[in-house]
Every structure is written in structure tokens, then in C-alpha cells.
């Protein structure tokens, strides 16, 4: 393992660029090997897109495939997009079967198809079969490669086949073999340890596990995750119309879930249309962030119109203007905490979208306590600053009421969004802040209007 201290002061992208300028493939391979996958990924993300292109032209296809597998998929897809279809197909051909589909799935359908037509028809068919399923289903994340034997074979025949195929199966893949009948239907699972202690003359049907657990290709990620939590399987066979079509290992499920949770973070801040990496073109990065920000300006104007409506009140007690942004910001923070707790409990399966009543009860109590505490704190601050008890009462009361609203709404929104079929990460934030702004501004200025003579004094 290369640690930080072992590296020279030269940055990874500098070493890569030097080798690229000399167009020296061997030197480049040496540099990448010395850097290791993590530093290579960091180095590549720092290259200009022409340099990235030169890099993947210069490398042997096999090495290029290795590198692409070790960098984030969105970045790998950008690289493939910039290469010719022939070159891209030659590299994709060298990738492992599961990575192929993951990376091609990041491309536009048209570009992916252009690369697929250049690939061997069998490999292309495998990838198309995976891409035909949504990416959060067993079919969408399965490995299309698996080791299957006819149910008519003996243990000795299976052992011979395994021995001869030798290096074809990596350590990782070979934990289970599957037994199928003539029509491709799954009959049983063979574990290596069963073969280890079996008579060579026995039929595989004698040593295999019968009625094996399997999933339909349409089963969703959350259910797969639950199955792996419940059992200690290394892999689960995937079937379509009872026929064995692939295998899902724990690793594919974990990878898919991690991919999801990384994107959730970005989506929560309104970065849309795929993930952002700083190696992507400027227009894509600015655009993805802007699309939601522009809507947010309009939502903000909506909330601000409440202030405009109460302009007369403000004019008579200008000191209220100081507290408007505080109410807005604090309510947003309190609400977002509740959103985060609900998102997490949804992910952990501890609440369902229908559990609105439970979440309501749990959040109202927190909202009341925190509303009292924060409202009290702000009231004291206002009192100390302006020596006006009425002002303290108005701003403290407004923050208290609005904290209750924000916490309750924040807890419920992710459930309601999920129920209505929207992405809770994307939709909860803007709705929450707009509603709490409108409500907070209204409560503060409405309360202030009641006691206006006392405030403007």
C-alpha cells in the first residue's frame, strides 16, 4: 500500500502527463502501477479531457479497462463518451461483466448502443439484458457470468471441469456453482465445501442444496439487501421465468446501495441529473446546480412576497427586519434535521411511507421542546439588545411557533414525498424552506401588527 509519506512530492497527474507527452506506453503503465488505483483515480480526475483521451488511446486495452473500473462510474462514462466507438468497445470488451453494464448504464442510451454494436454479440447481449432492467433491481445489478452444471453430472465430472477451467474463475466468483436442468431451470446450488467432502462417484444432485433461495430479476434492491441481511449467503441466483440468468453477490448489493447513498447527499442539495465530479465539463457542472437554484429563487420570491405585503408594519418597526433572516434560517435548520432523521429511518426500514401518524407524534414533541428553547433564547437576545419585552415576545413567539411547524413538516415530508412517488431527497428541501419561510414571515409580521404601537416605541 502506497501511503502519503512514501510518495514523492510529484503529484500523480504530473507523472501521468510526463509519460503522456513522451507517448511512452511502458513508462505510463509503470507510472500507473506505482500510483495504485486510488492515486490513479485522483490523478486522472485532474487531467484535461484531451489528456484523458490521450491516456486511454495510449494504454493497452486491458490496462485501460482496469483503470476505468477503478475510477467512479460517472467519470468512466465521460471518458468512454470522448473515445471513438471502436476504441471504447475494445476497452469495454476487457472489463469484468458487472462493471460493463454499470458504466454503459451511465451513458445516454444512444451512445451506449453505438459502443455495444462494436462489441462481440454475446457480450453485447449480456449487457443489454442487464440494462433492460432498472438499475435498482436484481436484474440490473446481477453478474451475467456464473458456473452451471447439468443435473446429470457426477461429482468427479464437475471436479474435472473445475480443475480444467482453472484460472478462468477468480477466487471471488467460484464460491457457488449452480445445477440446472435441460431447459435452464435452476435445480440446486453446489458449494465448494460439499464437493470437498463428497464421494467422487456421487451425482451432483446428491450433494447439492435443493430448493435453493433465488430471486426474480425484478426484485428490488431493498428486498435483496434484506435477504443478504437475513442469510449469510455469498451470492443469490437470479431467475427470469424460472430460468437462471445471473447471480447477485453481496458485493453488488453493497455497491449499489453505496452508489445510491452518495447520490442522495448531492440530491439533497439540489444537484440534479446525475452526480457531479469536478472532472466534468464546466457547463454540465454549473447547469446541474443551476436548474434547481433557479427554481429556488422563484420560491424565495414567493416567500418574500409575505414581507412585501407587510411592508407598512416593517416601516413602523424596522428592527423586525433584523429578525426575518434569523427566523428563516433557524426554521430551515430545525426542519432539515427532521428530514434527515426521516430519510435515515426510511433507509433503515424502521418507518414506512404510511407511518405518518407515528412520525407526527414523535416530531410534535421534539418541535414543542426545541421551539420553547430556541424561542426563549431569541426572546432573551432581543430583550437584551433592544430592552423591549414586547419585541422579545413577538420574535421569540414567532420562532417558537415556526420551529414546531418546521420540525413537524420536516419529519413528515420525506414520507409524503415517497408515498406520492417523488424522490424524497430532492423534493423535501425546497418545499420545507418555502413553507417555513412563508409561515415564519407571516407569524412574525402578523404578531408584530397586533402590538405595533408597543414595538415602534
Kindly state the number of chain residues that form the binding site for its own copies, as judged by CB under 8 A: 115
Residue from 23, 125, 265, 420 in contact with its own copies (CB under 8 A): 265
Shortest reach from residue 147's CB to its own copies, in Å = 12
State the nearest-atom distance from the C-beta of 57 to its own copies, in Å.
Answer: 22
Mark residues 43-72: x for contact with its own copies by CB under 8 A, - for none: --xx-----------------------x-x
Residues 301-308: contacts with CB under 8 Å, at least 24 apart: 302/434, 302/438, 303/328, 303/433, 303/434, 303/437, 303/438, 303/441, 304/441, 306/437, 306/438, 306/441, 306/442, 306/445, 307/441, 307/445
Kindly state whether residue 420 participates in binding its own copies, applying the rule CB under 8 A.
no
Per CB under 8 A, contacts with its own copies among 278-317 are: 278-279, 282, 285-286, 289-290, 293-294, 296-297, 300-301, 303-305, 307-308, 311, 314-315
Asked if 189 and 209 touch (Cβ cutoff 8 Å), the reply is: yes
Distances (CA, A) of 32 to 10, 25, 155, 179: 14, 11, 44, 41
Q: Which stretch binds its own copies (CB under 8 A): 51-59, 97-105, 130-138, 361-369?
A: 361-369
Segment 362 to 381, residues that bind its own copies, using CB under 8 A: 362, 365-366, 369-370, 373-374, 377-378, 381
Residue 8 sits in the site that holds its own copies (CB under 8 A): no
d(CA 418, CA 423): 6
Smallest separation (angstroms) from its own copies to the CB of 226:
5
250 touching its own copies, by CB under 8 A: yes
**Residue 111 or residue 296: which is nearer to its own copies going by CB?**
296
3: number of CA atoms within 13 Å, CB side?
A: 1
Rank residues 187 and 249 by Cβ distance to its own copies and give the closer one: 249
Can you tell me which of 275, 393, 401, 428 binds its own copies, judged by CB under 8 A?
Answer: 275
Does residue 41 bind its own copies (CB under 8 A)?
A: yes
191 part of the interface to its own copies, by CB under 8 A: yes
Beta strands 176-180 and 148-150 are parallel
- C-beta of 304: minimal distance to its own copies in Å? 5
Rounded CA separation 70/37 (Å): 6
Q: How far is CA 209 from CA 27, 150, 177, 206, in A?
A: 51, 14, 11, 8
Could you give the CA distance from residue 411 to residue 343 in angstroms, rounded to a whole number? 9
Strand 243-249 to 235-240 pairing: antiparallel
Q: Which stretch binds its own copies (CB under 8 A): 79-87, 179-187, 231-239, 412-420?
A: 231-239
From 8, 9, 210, 230, residue interacting with its own copies (rule: CB under 8 A): 230
Residue of the chain from 151, 153, 358, 446 that contacts its own copies (CB under 8 A): 358
DSSP letter at 198 equals S
Angle at 171 between CA 165 and CA 174, to 5 degrees: 60
- Nearer to its own copies by C-beta: 21 or 223? 223
Cα 297 to Cα 246, 290, 301, 426, 427, distances in angstroms: 47, 10, 6, 16, 15
Q: Does 121 bind its own copies (CB under 8 A)?
A: no
Residue selected from 238, 339, 394, 401 as contacting its own copies according to rule CB under 8 A:
339
Q: What is the DSSP letter of 185?
A: B
Minimal distance in Å, beta carbon 293 to its own copies? Answer: 6
Nearest to 52 by CA among 77, 26, 27: 77
When binding is defined by CB under 8 A, the residue of 266, 356, 427, 451 that contacts its own copies is 266
Cell of 136: 435498482
Instruction: Say how many Å lie between the first and final Cα of the chain, rounded.
Output: 71
Q: Which of residues 149-188 bind its own copies (CB under 8 A)?
A: 159, 162-163, 170-172, 174-175
Measured from the CB of residue 187, what is the shortest distance to its own copies in angstroms? Answer: 19
What's the min distance (Å) between Cβ of 203 and its own copies?
18
Q: Which residues share a beta bridge with 215?
A: 238
Site string for its own copies, 69-108 (x = CB under 8 A): -x-x------------------------------------
Q: 36, 105, 274, 397: which one contacts its own copies (CB under 8 A)? A: 36
CA distance linking residue 278 with residue 257, whole number of Å: 23
Amino acid at each position: 500500500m502506497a501511503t502519503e509519506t512514501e510518495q514523492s512530492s510529484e503529484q500523480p497527474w504530473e507523472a501521468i502527463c510526463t509519460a503522456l507527452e513522451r507517448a511512452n506506453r511502458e513508462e505510463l503503465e509503470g507510472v500507473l502501477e506505482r500510483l495504485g488505483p486510488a492515486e490513479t483515480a485522483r490523478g486522472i480526475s485532474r487531467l484535461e479531457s484531451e489528456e484523458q483521451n490521450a491516456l486511454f488511446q495510449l494504454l493497452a486495452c486491458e490496462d485501460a479497462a482496469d483503470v476505468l473500473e477503478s475510477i467512479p462510474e460517472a467519470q468512466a462514462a465521460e471518458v468512454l463518451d470522448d473515445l471513438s466507438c471502436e476504441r471504447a468497445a475494445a476497452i469495454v470488451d476487457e472489463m469484468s461483466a458487472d462493471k460493463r453494464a454499470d458504466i454503459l448504464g451511465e451513458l445516454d442510451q444512444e451512445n451506449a448502443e453505438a459502443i455495444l454494436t462494436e462489441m462481440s454479440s454475446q457480450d453485447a447481449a449480456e449487457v443489454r439484458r442487464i440494462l433492460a432492467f432498472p438499475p435498482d433491481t436484481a436484474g440490473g445489478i446481477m453478474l451475467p457470468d456464473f458456473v452451471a452444471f447439468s443435473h446429470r453430472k457426477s461429482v468427479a465430472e464437475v471436479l474435472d471441469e473445475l480443475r480444467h477451467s482453472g484460472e478462468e474463475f477468480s477466487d471471488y466468483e467460484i464460491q457457488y456453482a449452480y445445477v440446472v436442468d435441460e431447459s435452464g431451470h435452476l435445480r440446486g446450488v453446489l458449494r465448494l465445501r460439499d464437493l470437498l467432502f463428497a464421494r467422487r462417484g456421487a451425482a451432483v444432485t446428491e450433494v447439492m442444496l435443493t430448493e435453493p433461495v433465488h430471486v426474480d430479476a425484478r426484485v428490488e434492491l431493498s428486498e435483496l439487501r434484506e435477504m443478504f441481511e437475513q442469510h449469510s449467503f455469498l451470492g443469490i441466483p437470479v431467475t427470469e421465468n424460472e430460468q437462471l440468468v445471473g447471480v447477485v453477490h453481496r458485493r453488488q448489493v453493497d455497491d449499489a446501495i453505496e452508489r445510491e447513498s452518495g447520490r442522495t447527499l448531492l440530491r439533497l442539495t439540489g444537484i440534479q441529473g446525475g452526480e457531479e465530479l469536478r472532472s466534468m465539463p464546466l457547463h454540465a457542472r454549473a447547469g446541474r446546480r443551476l436548474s434547481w437554484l433557479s427554481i429556488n429563487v422563484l420560491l424565495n420570491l414567493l416567500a418574500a412576497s409575505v414581507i412585501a405585503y407587510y411592508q407598512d408594519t416593517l416601516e413602523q418597526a424596522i428592527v423586525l427586519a433584523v429578525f426575518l433572516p434569523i427566523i428563516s434560517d433557524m426554521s430551515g435548520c430545525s426542519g432539515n434535521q427532521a428530514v434527515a432523521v426521516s430519510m435515515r429511518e426510511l433507509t433503515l426500514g424502521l418507518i414506512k411511507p404510511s407511518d405518518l401518524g407515528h412520525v407526527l407524534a414523535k416530531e410534535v414533541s421534539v418541535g414543542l421542546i426545541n421551539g420553547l428553547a430556541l424561542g426563549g433564547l431569541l426572546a432573551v437576545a432581543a430583550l437584551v439588545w433592544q430592552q423591549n419585552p414586547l419585541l422579545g415576545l413577538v420574535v421569540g413567539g414567532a420562532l417558537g411557533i415556526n420551529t414546531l411547524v418546521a420540525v413537524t413538516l420536516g419529519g413528515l415530508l420525506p414520507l409524503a414525498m415517497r408515498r406520492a412517488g417523488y424522490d424524497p431527497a430532492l423534493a423535501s428541501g425546497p418545499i420545507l424552506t418555502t413553507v417555513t419561510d412563508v409561515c415564519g414571515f407571516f407569524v412574525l409580521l402578523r404578531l408584530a401588527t397586533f402590538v405595533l404601537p408597543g414595538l415602534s416605541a
